[in-house]
Structure formats: C-alpha cells, structure tokens
Structure 1
C-alpha cells in the first residue's frame, strides 16, 4: 500500500491528474518540435458519399485485421489508396489480400511502397487517413510526419516502446487538434458495449467501492523467424520486434496494455507505484539470449493507493491460459470480460446480455474513426492511451529493476533525460 510519504510526494509533484497527462512546466511541449500549422495541409472533410481515402503504414497481420474492419462495415465508405511497409513481401501480401477480399475498395492507382523510406510515398499521396501498424518504435516521429502532412491517424497500440515516445504524443495530439485532425489509438475494447455496461454498473456503485483488481494476459509462446544469411541485424530485430525491448517494449507493453487500459478505465486513475518480477520459464543458451530480450512471464503489483491491482502476463507453452480483468469491491466482484457481477457469497446479481467479440469491437471503433473524418468532427483519443501505455511501462520498469518504482519519479527522470 502507499505510504503517507508516497502520497504527499505524488500530490506535490503529480504528472497524472484528473485523468489527464500533465506535462510539468511544459517541459515536454517545449522539447518536441511540433509541425508548422501554416505549412500543414487542410484535412479533407468530405461528405459520407465520398469514400474516405485510407492508407496503411505497416502491412502485417494487424493491418489486415484493421483493413477488414474498416472495409467490412457498411456505415462509412472507404477506399485504400496506399500501402507501405519496410519489407516489400508484406506490402505485396496485403495488396493481394485486399484484392481478394475487398477488390472494389482498392484504388486503381493504389500506392505500394517498400524500403526504409516507404512512408514518404504515403505522405505525398492523396491519402486522407493513415493506419500505423508497424512495430512500436519511433512512433512519435511517424505521427509527427503524418500530422505535418495533414493526415488523420489511427495508431495501433501501444503508443510507443519507451517513455520518450509516449510522452512526446501529448503535444502532437494538441497539434492535431488545432489542425482539425482525428487521431485514434488501437484500444478497441473501449468500444465493447458489454464492457461499457459492466463498467457503468461499477461506477454506479452496484457492488460497493473497489479494493482489489486483477488483470491477466496469459497465453502461448511467441514464435521467432529464423535469421537469414543476407538479413541485417536491424531487419531481423524488426521482423521479430516483439522479442526486443527497443523495438516492441515487451509483452506487458505491447499486448497487456489492452487489459491495463480496461482497469485504468474502470478505476478512473493511474497507479502511484508498482513492484514486480519477471523471468524465463526455462534456462536459456547464449544463442537464445541473443534471440530475445523480453521476459516470457511477468507479475506486477500496481499500487493505486486504496486499490491494489495484481497483473500477470505470460507467453509459455503448456501453461494456464487466461485473459481477462476483474474488480473486487466491498460488496462483491465484477468480472469485466464476462459482464457479470457477484455478491461476496458467489451469487450472481447482474449480467450483461450484450454480445461481445474482438471483431465487433474493432469494427465499432473503425466506424467511429471513419465517421469522425467524414463528418469533419475531429476526435483525439491519445490522452487515455498515453496514460495506459505509461502504466504498462511502469510495470516493465518494475520487473526489469526488481524495485518499487513510483510513477512520478519515473516520469520526472524521463522528462529530465528528454530535456537535458
């Protein structure tokens, strides 16, 4: 639990306040060069009769899922005008997928770019909105370029693999807002109507006040691609990005952030501190050490002051697989993923009857994203996503250091490093 010293220090120099990311003294805003508003292009806010021109930067599995959701819904028309990926095979694979599933939604002159500078072709195209589904490295630089070119942005989770990238997003979001651009983050569970109902019951006090929470993201192992003789170290790391801290953060940051975001939403605030541990389920050879830097299991205790969150994430074979969140309150327990509330004696007292699937939630978010552009009603979802990514990074630092890390100290040190 938080000590009085922790609480007073956190209150005195808080970077997280009232659900918003507070940048102390404008330090980050002045250290990040924002795009020139006058030079940026005016976003196209055409009517819903004209298809929204969308492009994808990063053409892997997640990009294909987002494309299916954006093009599969019937409320807002969209057409793909650009594809870009460092690896040409990925660009071509996605183009073939789109021609097979959504042929009428692929523009005749659709850009197909590859190589390290492939983003440039999307920036110079007439694409209105760009989906960023690359590994979460250098995300702030990518978003800065897109906003500078007047593009709406859909940024897949997490917002970044390190603190500098995440903290850089706040001034970029403000710049996008001034330019009338929509910027969404890929935390689609916020669009899960069953979760909306369930968290609404929590906030209405159905089972009293929260005292404890759990968030689990336990699944099977990650596969690694083999290193090709002609492949550079950089290409190998980017193809296996979720095995390297600099390229992907770690499993807690790049995947479990979705579950942490749900708890963040439910509790309505960020933690004061975290402590935890991580490791590998098996002893590793020198070659295996070189192939992956990230733990395959992590357990973190997040201290919210009057609520403790127990977080688990694991990627091992033959383990107990469980993904979900629950809030334990003074008068019962709320199973957020299942949409059910129980009294302390185990009796079911409330249940949501709304159907929920990841595909439906992703599609609902895409409808909101495209509608925002079509109607010229710019929306920014960066702040909440930045806070949730910071929670994940707090947990990561706790497991790597084996120490109790305070949120305010972590941010204070990050800001000092960025402005040094």
Structure 2
C-alpha cells in the first residue's frame, strides 16, 4: 500500500473533531489552525498580573516524599531564592522523616526547609491535611495511581501544582486529569508536568527545527529505551497487602500503570511532541521473560508497539527493563528531506540539506529537571501562565493504549482508549483495604473495557 493510500485509510479512523476526546481538536484550537512545535511546548502565555510578587516568599508543600519528591523539592528550592518548603505529606512517616533529613543536609537550602512538626502529615489521607494549609504550590510525587485524585484535590483547594509523570494509570484517570486541567485554566492555576524533555534546551531546539521542516514530512520514527531492572523490597512481618504493594509500587499496575506508563511515558511524550500529533491507533506485544516471580507483581518486562498516525506516518516504540542486558537509548526520525538521530536526551544529529548537531562531544548534561522548575516560578512571579495538563494527560493515554494493546493482543484506537471505562483504583483506600485482584495479562484472553 502506498503512502498516500495508507494516509487516507488512517485518516478515516481519526476521531471526529466534534468529539472533545479528539487529540487534534485541542491543539488546532490552541494554535489557530496549524500544529507547530509551539503547540506542544510548555510556552508561557502573555504576562498577566503576577501571581506572587517579587518580594513574597513562595510556600511549597510536598506530597510524596520518595526519591523523585526529594529531587523535585531540591529543584524548586534552587529555582527561586524566595521558595520555602513549609509542609510535607506521605503515607509513611519513615519516608517523610528520611526526606526531611536529606533536604536539611543540603547546605545551600537548609535555611529554607522550614517544616514545623504540625506541618508534617502522614497516612493515606495526609494529602488532604496538607492541602488545607496555606501553601501556594504543591509538588505531587506519590505513586501515579494517586495522581488524578491528588491533582483534583489540589486544584479544588486553589493550589498551583507541579505533578510528576505520568498523569494516570487508566483512562478514567486521564479523563479526570483533563477535567482538572480545564478547571485550573478557569481559576488561573498552574499545572507543570514532570515530562521534562519539553523544558530541555536540546529537545526544544531539535523539535523546533523538525517542525520548521529540517527533515521534511516525517514518514516513520523509532524510539528505543532498554534499561536494567529495579529494586524489590522484601515483605516485612505484619505488612498489609496495601503497605507491601505501596513499598513496591513499580510492580503493581493499579499503582504504576506498568513501566511502559511509569517510565517510558517520557519517550512516548517526546515522540508525540516531535510528530506534532497523537496516534489514531496502535498494535503491540510484550510479556515477562526475566521478571516472572510473584515479587514482581503484575507488570511486563518488555514491550514493542507500532503506532499509526493520521498523516500516514508510523512510530515503532520498544522498551524493556531486564537485568544483565545491553542498555540502549535512541530515537530515529526519517523524513522526506533528511533524518534525525537522537542518543539519550541531549544529543541530536540532523542530516540532509538542513544539517545540524547538538551535544556532540561537548559533555552536555540534561537540564530539563531544573529548567521546568525555573520556568514555573519565574512565570509565577512575572504574571505568565503555564498549564501542561493537556499533553500531560494525552501522552499518558498514548502509553496506556499501548499497554492495553500488548495486554490484550488487539489493536487499540485512540477513541477506544479515551472512552474506556477502565478504572484501576479502589474507591476508598485504607491500610487494610483488599488490593485489586490482578493476574498477569495474557494476550488473547485479557480484555479491555
């Protein structure tokens, strides 16, 4: 089938632009009718009245005190000398205390880590207690299954938000995040997402060149990320199922979404950004080869996904987490006028008439984790506006549809994923709540609804 015929067939599957779930409709509306790099980038809107004056402290609260929460807090403290950490919340007291000790050992920021005893909240409802305080900004860094609930509560409480990726673990969560995004926009509240490639100088310049036509029309793309395994924490005497699964949240789909959503969403988002669109459908496969024991929960250890776009372009995305194997991290875009090859997150090489290189041999390191916070607080003080919620949610859905194609063995369309009723989170969670009953997915037998 030739390229034009394939494009026409795929366009017929594209969701109706009258349906709010359409991936193109929001971007076309935002960009005045054309999809550009800026449509997908975390651009700052025209200046409004500053949310925080240049002389005021910005009081932040951390919800989720693990490694990423600790890192995000350090990024925030470095971003603005007027930021003070004044509140912390975590389900587990020991994790909160450990995070606080780490932050207090950082000499450059220790004097701005000012968390009184009555501003340290623990337990599964600790987020509610923190949101009832007078913090200006909350950092959401709990396991992803809680993200939609915590984001909704934060926006309802009138807080600006930095939210770690991914946005959700299921379609119900994605729809919730889109609703919270719209509400935040109405209230003038920020949502900055932890998909830091969109704030990475190398990625921004590469994307702009691609969207300016450096390689012409994209025909096909490939994204590969192969990494090693992750830690496992042995079950402790007396732990409930909820306590145990929370301590090993990566391996439980209701908490992490599987590693395709929890980790590879970074690369999926980068490709949605550079493609300038979200896919019409995908077909995938995956399974468990090296992580087969019960301690690895329900997730797969490898995936291979083929995404199809309305333009006729295709994206092959593959990832694995397997110990003892080679590590690979690369992307390749083939266009009508050239090729772009990326290695890691900061090295790009465009060949063709518009040849360009970034990061080759100059030791550049990733900056996105810091620049997203720098941009957040600079905009908060200047009167700009940031809301990354739309691409935060939709890139997560792009990962979810791939997971479900691999789990079920069937093609999954964008509209099917957006409309699915799947909701993996229990309605109420207590330490003794029965955890969701899951089995490892078996393609051809596992269903998606």
Normalising TM by the smaller chain, what interval?
0.7 to 0.9
* Residue of structure 2 equivalent to 1:31: none
1:408 CA displacement:
1.4
Q: Is 1:10 the equivalent of 2:7?
A: no
In 2, are the aligned partners of 1:137 and 1:160 still within 8 Å (CA)?
yes
Contact 1:52 1:77 in 2 (8 A): yes
Aligned to 2:375: 368
Question: 1:103-142 residue pairs with structure 2 within 5 A?
Answer: 103-107=110-114, 109=116, 111-142=119-150
Greater shift in the superposed pair: 373-382 or 291-300: 373-382
Residues 151, 181 of structure 1: 8 Å contact kept: yes
The secondary structure found in structure 1 opposite 2:323 is: coil
Q: Which moved more, 1:264-273 or 1:365-374?
A: 365-374
Residues 13-412 of structure 1 aligned to structure 2 (within 5 Å): 15-18=21-24, 20=26, 45-73=51-79, 75=80, 77-101=82-106, 102-107=109-114, 109=116, 111-282=119-290, 284=292, 288-289=293-294, 291-305=296-310, 306-336=312-342, 337=345, 338-343=347-352, 349-352=355-358, 356-358=364-366, 360-412=367-419
Any idea what SS the aligned residue of 1:326 has? strand
More divergent stretch after superposition (243-252 vs 378-387): 378-387
Residues in 1 aligned to 2:380 and 2:373: alpha-carbon distance in whole angstroms: 11
| Contact 2:290/2:322 (8 A) holds in 1 | no
Equivalent-residue separation in structure 1 for 2:249 and 2:163 (angstroms) = 17
SS in 2 for 1:231: coil
Q: Which residue is 2:446 aligned to? A: none
Provide the residue aligned with 1:28 in structure 2.
none
SS state at 2:273 partner: helix
CA shift for structure 1 position 108:
5.5
Which runs of 5 or more residues in structure 1 are unaligned?
23-42
Cα shift at 1:283: 7.7
Residue 143 (structure 1) shift: 1.4
Q: TM-score, normalised by structure 1?
A: 0.86
TM-score normalised per structure 2? 0.81
Question: How many residues are paired up?
Answer: 390
**Cα gap change, 1:348 to 1:9, in 2 (>3 Å):** closer
* Residues 118-143 of structure 1, C-alpha deviations (whole Å, 9 max, x = no match): 11221121211000000011322211
SS of equivalent to 1:18: helix
| RMSD of equivalent CA atoms | 2.6
Deviations 1:92-145 (A, max 9, x none): 011101111021111253621111121122112121100000001132221121
**CA pair 260-48 structure 1, distance change in 2 beyond 3 A:** same
How far, CA to CA, are the matches of 1:388 and 1:45 in structure 2?
28
Give the direction of change, closer, same or farther, for the CA distance of 1:222–1:348 in structure 2 (3 Å limit): farther
Matched position secondary structure for 2:420: helix
CA deviations over 1:118-175 (Å, ceiling 9, x no partner): 1122112121100000001132221121112111111100001111011111221111
Partners of 2:51 and 2:104 in 1: how far apart?
Answer: 27
The alpha-carbon deviation at position 275 of structure 1 amounts to 0.7
Aligned partners of 1:117 and 1:7: how far apart in 2? 46
Relative to 1, partners in 2 of residues 1:387 and 1:97: Cα closer, same or farther, differing over 3 Å?
same
Q: Distance in 2 between matches of 1:108 and 1:255?
A: 31
Kept in 1, the 8 Å contact 2:397–2:417? The answer is no
- Return closer, same or farther for 1:183/1:348 CA change in 2, 3 Å cut-off: closer
Which moves more between the two structures, 140-149 or 43-52? 43-52
Whole-Å separation in 1 of the counterparts to 2:184 and 2:265: 24
SS of residue matched to 1:377:
coil
